[in-house]
Amino acid sequence: MRRNILFLLTILLLSGGLSYAQVAPNKYFIQFTDKNNSPYSLSHPEEFLTARAIARRQAHDIPIVENDLPVNQSYVQKVASYGVQILTRSRWMNGVTIYSADSAAIDSIENLPFVKRTFFFKNGEHKKESFFKNERVGLNPPAVNTKAVSADEKAYGTALTQIKQINGVPLHKKGYRGQGMVIAILDAGYQDVPTQTLFDSLRDEHRLLGTKDFVNPGGNVYPQHYHGRMVLSCMAADDPGVMIGTAPKASFWLLRTEDAASENIIEEYNWVAGAEFADSVGADVINSSLGYIGFDDTTVSHPYADMDGKTCVSTLGAEIAASKGILVVNSAGNEGQSTTFPWISAPADGDSVFTIGAVNSLGLRASFSSQGPTYDGRVKPTVMALGQGTAVADTSGVTYGSGTSFSSPIIAGMSACLWQAHPAATNMQIIKALKETASMHANPDTLMGWGIPDFAKADSLLQIWTGMRSFSSKSETLQTIPNPFYSAFKVKLNGIHGTLDVQLYDLSGRLVYKKIYSPGSLSSWIQLSGLDQLHPGIYLLEISNTQRIYFGKVIKE
């Protein structure tokens, strides 16, 4: 997969596949021919990647390759010498975005020997906030069956419906709340985040790692727009009894790549620059509640044919980000009721992008949720989450919103917790586990993909796949006979000593058997009996003593 992505980008760049495009007034993307004579070396990645970014690659056997190298600084300096403003740099696309109203300077830059191609971003009539078209805020809350709410669940407050729907509570109860995970958000602005009570612990615990503005380099990301605040709250809110998000203990980077006042192709280049930054600082997950179809200059709007996973600039960037080991989570879009373009937008069309659609509190598809397939026939969206009546942060409290912008971070945050529980898993294994345990896994379609994920089931499935979570990965440690079983089975201890806590779980994470064995009662085998009432299927066996936890799998006939 990684080689294919890198090869695809190389072919597009060499063949001119990134065709002439107009993207914003007096703004250009300057593409360089090479990275020759770079002061950086692939053998010293610590000079251009953080230790955390390098560790992610090492953990998943991802090589550091040429597109990891920064753009040639001497090329950048030569371009800047013509009096233009350097806006962003892209090592993946090997170029820079610039601003200049001086056409003579642009002509001179185009003739430089190391400039491969220049893309001009043209202005059009502004279309206010088109990037989250059809979204609504201030809706009534979804109905909640209060009789079925446990004391622990009451802590989630207004967000209970959206986390229960994806069965995320069991992961939190196990202690996986995103600790140590880093999530980068690409959005339009983060108004009120410095003062909103829902984010008190995020600020107090110094888990807000930083901000960066790619629209107005050096700018303040907070006052620009409110959309990112709502997105962040779906993950980071931590005010028990009021609202708890899906990753309340994760750390966050708040990146502004979207200009809410207009819609131009340069925002796709901003998206790539933001994703590259997220990669360089070691983010594990990117949440992007953004999508690109139509632009102010309609002559460069994307036709459906562009939604093929290999054409749009933002999609190319998302695919490369995924090749670096990042879990890229993106909204499907809100065009589902369109008679002309009901399909998902870029970069949600990416093959390695985790594309999230929207359902209501009853689990029914929200009519606005963009649909698949991709132009080349792949099933999209990937999975669904609550996007109609979603609890989100208001200026000083909680309101309810509608849009795939909110279903995406619900999944992104919970996925970070799932990955925290299974650090040996890859980004693609996280997606695969959630697809295979989702509500429509047997019959995915182009309206709801694989359906609503079940994070407790995915957690159990990943235990089988990776043997992680402090378990012994040696399956021979627990020998079971018979397997499959009907009413009882035996487990050979093979030298396991001490008081043993024996537990059996079904794939939903529900404890179905528990017994404590004292040292005096142990022999070389122990028996689990009285299991004839269990439903047929796969069960997970845990045996723990004071030293470690052992793991096994049994099948009930």
Q: Which CATH class is domain 26-121?
A: alpha beta
Selected residue with higher pLDDT from 381 and 118: 381
Q: How confident is the model at residue 365 (pLDDT cuts 50, 70, 90)?
A: very high
* Cis status, amide bond into 347, omega within 30 of 0: yes
Q: Is 399 exposed, middle or buried (0-12, 13-18, 19+ CB in 10 A)?
A: middle
Q: Which amino acid is at 523?
A: S
Residue 446 makes CB contacts below 8 A (sequence gap 6+) with 371, 372, 373, 379, 380
Taking the domains of the chain in order of start, what are their residue ranges? 26-121, 130-143+154-423, 475-556
What confidence tens digit (pLDDT) does each residue in 172-218 have? 999 999 999 999 999 999 999 999 999 999 999 999 999 999 999 99
CATH code 2.60.40.3080 for 475-556:
yes
What one-character-per-residue DSSP string does 470-493 give?
Answer: SB---GGGSEEESSSBSS-EEEE-
Tell whether the model's pLDDT for residue 3 goes beyond 50.
Answer: no
Q: How far apart, in whole angstroms, are the C-alpha atoms of residue 469 and residue 455?
A: 15
Contact (CB, 8 A) for 410 and 163: yes
Nearest to 226 by CA among 193, 259, 189: 189
Tell me which residue has tokens 């723990």. 544
**Other CB atoms within 10 A of residue 499 CB:** 14
Mean pLDDT over the full length of the chain? 87
The CATH fold assigned to 130-143+154-423 is: Rossmann fold (3.40.50)
What confidence tens digit (pLDDT) does each residue in 387-432 have? 999 999 999 899 999 999 999 999 999 999 999 999 989 999 999 9
What confidence tens digit (pLDDT) does each residue in 121-147 have? 765 443 434 445 566 666 667 766 655
Tell whether the model's pLDDT for residue 538 goes beyond 50.
Answer: yes
- Tell me the whole-structure pTM to 2 decimals: 0.80
pLDDT score, position 549: 66
Tell whether the model's pLDDT for residue 495 goes beyond 80.
Answer: no
Looking at 261-336, list the stretches that DSSP marks H as alpha helix, in order from N- to C-terminal side: 266-280, 313-323
Q: How far apart, in whole angstroms, are the C-alpha atoms of residue 463 and residue 553?
A: 9
